[in-house]
Amino acid sequence: MSAAPRAATPAAEPLLSSRRRERGLPARVAAGAPPYLLVLPTLVVLVGVLAYPLYWLGRISFEHYGLAELIARKGTWTGLDNYRHMLGDAEFWRIVARTIAFTVVNVGLTMLFATLIALLLVRMGTIVRGAVLVGLVWVWATPVTVAIAVWQWMVDFEFGVLNWTLTKLHVVDLIHYNWFDNPWTGFAVITAVVVWGAIPFAAITIYAGFSQVPQELVEAAEVDGASAWEVFWRVTFPLVKPIFVIVTSLSIIWDFQVFNQIWIMLEFRPSPDYYLLGVYSFVESFRVSQYGLGAAIAVVMVVLMLGVSFVYVRQMVRISEADA
Amino acid sequence: MKFRYVVAAALAVAVAAGAPTAGARTDGDAASSTLTVWLMTDAQGGAWADVVSAANRQFESAHPGIEVDVQIQTWGDHLTKLDAALAGGRAPDVVELGNTETTKYMAAGALANITGNRGSFPNSRTWLQALTQSCTYQGRLFCVPYYAGARAVIYRRDHWRQAGLRKAPASLDAFVNAGKRLMRLKRSDRNYSALYFPGKYWYAAMSFVYDYGGAIARFRNGRWVGTLDSQFALRGLRKWKETARALSRANRSGTEATQWTVFSQGRVGATISNGWEWGLIIDPENGNPRLNLGAFPMPSHTKGKFMPTFLGGSDLAIPATSGNRALALDWIRTFTSNGNMRTLTSAAGVIPNTTSLAGVNASKPQLAPFAQAAKASWFVPTAPNWANVENAQVLQNMLSSILTGRSTVEAASRRASTQITQILNAR
C-alpha cells in the first residue's frame, strides 16, 4: 500500500520513463505490478465467492456425495454417473421443458408490461409520473419473502382476499378454491408474482432509455406522417435496442432460476408438478441428500445460463466501447 | 456493487496488514461457555416452554458459567439446516430429531455413539420400547427417547350428538355414517367439515392403509419394496379417499400443520389430532375455551378395534462433531429427569419417554384416549433412507393427487411405490 502514493506523483513521471528502458525484467515487472496489485483484492473476492464454490459444484457433480460423505467432507469419484442418471430420467427433461416455457412466458410478460408502462411514463405529467415511479420503486423495494406472503393471503384457501372478492362480485365461485390444485392456475399465480416483482426494474430502465431518445427525431418522423406504431418500431426501438437486449437477458437469467416464489408460496413442499430446475436441484440435494445429482443439475443450469450471460456481457462491452 | 467495493477494501486492508490474527480462532473458549440445543417448535410455548426453562435453570446452576442457548427449529426445514451445520462443522451440541428421522443420521455416522452412557440416563430401564428402537442402530445407542405422541379423534360433543353419536363409535363405518349425517345437518355452512382432513395429512391417511393390512414398504429378499399398490393398501387408500371426500372440506393439498386454529374457529366437527392439540384448541388466547370437546381412538373398519395410529415422537441426540459431549450428555440427563418428564406429561399432554410414568394421565378424560390409541400403532419402514422419502414428499404428493382427482388411486399409488422402492434402495 505504501507504494501507491509514489507511483501517483506526477512530478516523478518523466524521470521514471527515461529510466525505464535501462531496467531489467524484475524492475519492469515491479513497475507494471501496481495495476495488478490493485485488482488483486477484487480477484481474491471473486475467486472466494465464485470460483471456489463453482469448483466444488463441478467436482461434487462427478462424485457420489450423500449425507455420510457430507459429514466426512469427502465424496467418492463416480465419473459421469450422476449425469447419465439425470439425462436418462424422463422427469428431468419434463422439468427442463417446463423451466424453458416458464422463462419464455415470464420474460415475455415482463417485457410487454414494462414497455407499456415505460411508454406511459414518457407521456405522463410530472406529478402522475412521480406517483407511478414511487409505486414502482415500492414494489421493487419489497423483499421477495414479504411479497410472497402478501400474495399467499390473496389466494389463500380459507381466507383468500382474491377468492372472496371474485366470489362477492359474482364473477366466479371461489369459496374454498385452491389455486395450486391445478398446476396451470398455480403457475398463473406464480407468474403473476414473478412478473409483478420484475416489472419495476425493467420499466424504469426502459423508461430511462426512452427519455434519452432525441425528441427531434420523433417529431421529424411524425411530421413525415409516421403513425405512433411506426415511430416506436422504426425510431424509438432501434435507438434503445441495447437496453432491451440487456433487460431481456437479465430477465431470462432471473426467471430461469426462480426458486423463492415457488418454494415459499408452496410452503417448502412443492409437489413435483411445480419443479423448475432450481427447485429440482435443491430437492435432490437438500431433501433427498443426493448432493452429487443435485450438483449435476446445477451444473447444467450454469452452462445454460452462460449462453445467456454471453449475450448480456457482449452487449455491455459494446456499450462501454461506444461510450469510450 | 457497493457491497463488493466494501468487501474488496476490507480485504485489501487485511492483506496489507498481513492479517496473521485472522487465523487465530477463539472458538474453543466460546464453545465451552455456550451449549447450543436445537428443539422443535412444539417446545416454544405454554407448559412445554416452562419445562425447558426449568431444565436450563437446573443445568446452569449445576454448571456455573455455562449458558444454554435453545434454538427453536421448524419441522419443515430443520434437517436441511442440520445438514448444512454438519457440513460446516457448526452443528449444535444437542439436537431433537423425529423418531422417523434418526436412522438416516445414525447410518451416516452423524451422531455420537452413547451406548456406554446408557445407564446414566434417568429411567433408561423403562424407556419406551418404540423410541429406544428408533435410537438404536446395529446394536448401538445414538440418542435418548424424549417423548411420544399418538393420534386420536378430538370432536365437538354438541355437534356429533345432533348426528346421533353419543359415545365412541364402534367401527369406522359407524363413524363415517354419523359424519355424513352431520354434514347433511350442517349443509348450509359451506365451510363446515365434520372431520377436518387436509389432503397431505399422511400420518392419518396411512393409518387407513395399515388398518386394512397394507404397509408403505416391506423388506423382502434383502431389499426394500414399496407396497402402497398392494391390494390391502389400495383398499385402505380407497376408504380414506371416500372418508375425506365425504366428511372434509379442508384444503386437499394442505397439511395438518395448523389444524387446531381452524378447529377453534368453530366450523369443524372433529380432527385427528395429537393429545397436545386439545389444549391449543381451547387455549384462552389463541383458541376457543367454550368448545365442548371429547376424544376417542379412531375406530377400525373391524368392529370393536382401533385403527392403528402412527406412533410419533422425538429423540435427543448429540452430533458426532460436538466438542461438548460431556455437557451435552448432562443437559439431556437434566432435561429428561423424572421430575421434568412428569411435568411435561401432565401439563403438555405428551406420552412420556418412560413406561414408569404411563399412569400420570390415565384418569384424565382428555388425555386417556390418546394413550389408549397408542396401544395399536404402526411405524414407518426402518430403512436408513426413510427420511428421504419424507423429505421428497412422496406420500403427501400421492395423497393430494388422489384427493384432488388429478390421479386415480391405482396410478398414484403405483407411482409412489416405484419412487419409494428407488429411494429406499439408493446407495
ipTM of this predicted structure: 0.74
- Looking at residue A23, its pLDDT comes to 63
Kindly state whether residue B260 falls inside one of the protein's structural domains: yes
Q: What is the mean pLDDT of residues A122-127?
A: 91
Residue A104 CB partners (closer than 8 Å, separation 6+): none
Whether A70 sits inside 8 A of B83 (CB atoms) is yes
Contacts of A264 in chain B (CB under 8 A): none
Contacts of A181 in chain B (CB under 8 A): 252-253, 400, 404, 406
- A108 has pLDDT over 60: yes
- CB count in 10 Å sphere of residue B374: 25
- Looking at residue B410, its pLDDT comes to 97
Query: In this complex, which of A71, A176, A268 lies closest to B76 when CB atoms are compared?
Result: A268
Kindly state whether residue B345 falls inside one of the protein's structural domains: yes
- CATH top-level class of A89-323: mainly alpha
Rounded-to-integer distance, Cα B286 and Cα B410, Å: 41
Give the gap in angstroms from C-alpha A322 to the nearest C-alpha of chain B.
Answer: 23
Residue of B nearest to A1 (CA): B16
C-alpha cell at A179: 389455486
Whether A45 sits inside 8 A of B7 (CB atoms) is yes
Residues B103 and B72 in one domain: yes
Whether A41 sits inside 8 A of B8 (CB atoms) is yes
Assess B248–A contact: CB distance below 8 Å, yes or no.
Answer: no
Residue of A nearest to B16 (CA): A1
Residues B384 and B390 sit within 8 Å (Cβ to Cβ): no
C-alpha cell at B202: 399422511
Residue B302 confidence class, pLDDT cut points 50, 70, 90: very high
Contacts of B423 in chain A (CB under 8 A): 288
Q: What is the mean pLDDT of residues A196-207?
A: 95
Tens of pLDDT, residue by residue over A158-172, are: 788 999 999 889 888
Whether B406 sits inside 8 A of A45 (CB atoms) is no
**Cross-strand bridge partners of residue B378:** B310
Choose the mutation target among A36, A46, A63, A67 for the interface with B, i.e. most B CBs under 10 Å. A67
Residues of A in CB contact (< 8 Å) with B are 1, 40-42, 44-45, 64, 66-68, 70-73, 157-158, 175-176, 178, 180-182, 267-269, 271-272, 283, 286-290
- B19 has pLDDT over 80: no
Q: What is the mean pLDDT of residues B257-270?
A: 91
What stretches of B141-258 show up as alpha helix (H) in DSSP?
Answer: 157-162, 172-185, 202-211, 231-247
Residues B173 and B317 in one domain: no
Contacts of B190 in chain A (CB under 8 A): 175-176
- CB count in 10 Å sphere of residue B168: 19
Tens of pLDDT, residue by residue over B112-171, are: 999 999 999 999 999 998 899 899 998 999 999 999 989 999 999 999 999 999 889 999
Query: In this complex, which of B87, B254, B400 lies closest to A70 when CB atoms are compared?
Result: B87
Residues B342 and B336 sit within 8 Å (Cβ to Cβ): no
Whether A269 sits inside 8 A of B393 (CB atoms) is yes
Residues B332 and B290 in one domain: no
- A268 has pLDDT over 60: yes
Q: Which residue has the higher pLDDT, A193 or B191?
A: A193
Give the gap in angstroms from C-alpha A171 to the nearest C-alpha of chain B.
Answer: 18
Residue at grid coordinates 480462532: B25
Q: What is the mean pLDDT of residues B14-19?
A: 34
Contacts of A45 in chain B (CB under 8 A): 4, 7-8, 11
Rounded-to-integer distance, Cα B241 and Cα B409, Å: 9
Task: Find residues 97-116 of chain B whose CB sits inside 8 Å of chain A.
Answer: 104-105, 107-110
Give the gap in angstroms from C-alpha B146 to the nearest C-alpha of chain A.
Answer: 24
Residues A145 and A260 sit within 8 Å (Cβ to Cβ): yes
Rounded-to-integer distance, Cα A244 and Cα B293, Å: 63
Give the gap in angstroms from C-alpha A85 to the nearest C-alpha of chain B.
Answer: 12
Choose the mutation target among B393, B420, B427 for the interface with A, i.e. most A CBs under 10 Å. B393
Q: Which of the residue ranges A186-200, A308-322, B194-208, B218-232 would you say has the lowest mean pLDDT? A: A308-322
- A10 has pLDDT over 70: no
- Looking at residue B32, its pLDDT comes to 56
- B403 has pLDDT over 70: yes
The range of the structural domain enclosing residue B103 comes to 31-150+312-371
Residues B159 and B294 in one domain: yes
Nearest to B251 by CA among B198, B297, B180, B291: B198
Q: How many domains does chain B have?
A: 2
Residues B205 and B76 in one domain: no
Task: Find residues 283-342 of chain B whose CB sits inside 8 Å of chain A.
Answer: 320-321
Domains of chain A: which residue ranges?
Answer: 3-60, 89-323
Residue B329 confidence class, pLDDT cut points 50, 70, 90: very high
How big is the A-B interface in CB pairs under 8 Å?
100
- CB count in 10 Å sphere of residue B72: 17
Q: Which residue has the higher pLDDT, B330 or A157?
A: B330
Kindly state whether residue B241 falls inside one of the protein's structural domains: yes
Task: Find residues 183-202 of chain B whose CB sits inside 8 Å of chain A.
Answer: 190-191, 200
Kindly state whether residue B4 falls inside one of the protein's structural domains: no
Whether A72 sits inside 8 A of B262 (CB atoms) is no
Buried b (16+ CB within 10 A) or exposed e, A286-306: bbbbbbbbbbbbbbbbeebee
Residues B303 and B250 in one domain: yes
Residue A278: in which H helix or E strand, if any?
helix A277-282
Q: What is the mean pLDDT of residues B181-198?
A: 94
Kindly state whether residue B85 falls inside one of the protein's structural domains: yes
Rounded-to-integer distance, Cα B254 and Cα A204, Å: 39
Rounded-to-integer distance, Cα B192 and Cα B342, Å: 38
CA A235 to each of CA A112, A210, A227, A244, B62: distance values in angstroms, whole numbers, following the listed order: 18, 11, 11, 14, 81
Rounded-to-integer distance, Cα A180 and Cα A189, Å: 8
Kindly state whether residue B25 falls inside one of the protein's structural domains: no
Q: What is the mean pLDDT of residues B63-89?
A: 91
- Looking at residue A289, its pLDDT comes to 86
Residues B303 and B320 in one domain: no
Tens of pLDDT, residue by residue over B99-111, are: 999 999 999 999 9
Residues B176 and B57 in one domain: no
Mean pLDDT for chain A overall: 87
- Looking at residue A296, its pLDDT comes to 96
Residue of B nearest to A73 (CA): B87
Q: What is the mean pLDDT of residues B328-345?
A: 96
Task: Find residues 142-171 of chain B whose CB sits inside 8 Å of chain A.
Answer: none
- What's chain A's length in residues? 324
Q: Which of the residue ranges A1-5, A192-196, B412-416 would you say has the lowest mean pLDDT? A: A1-5
Whether B191 sits inside 8 A of A176 (CB atoms) is yes
Whether A287 sits inside 8 A of B406 (CB atoms) is no
- Looking at residue B2, its pLDDT comes to 36
Q: How many CA atoms lie within 13 A of B126 on its CB side?
A: 12
Tens of pLDDT, residue by residue over B196-208, are: 999 999 999 999 9
Q: What is the CATH number of the domain that holds B293?
A: 3.40.190.10
Contacts of B110 in chain A (CB under 8 A): 67-68, 71
Contacts of A159 in chain B (CB under 8 A): none
Tens of pLDDT, residue by residue over A46-98, are: 999 999 999 999 999 999 998 889 888 889 999 999 999 999 999 999 999 99
pTM, 2 dp = 0.79
Strand duo B94-98 + B67-73: pairing: unpaired
Contacts of A286 in chain B (CB under 8 A): 80, 83-84
Query: In this complex, which of B11, B16, B404 lies closest to A181 when CB atoms are compared?
Result: B404
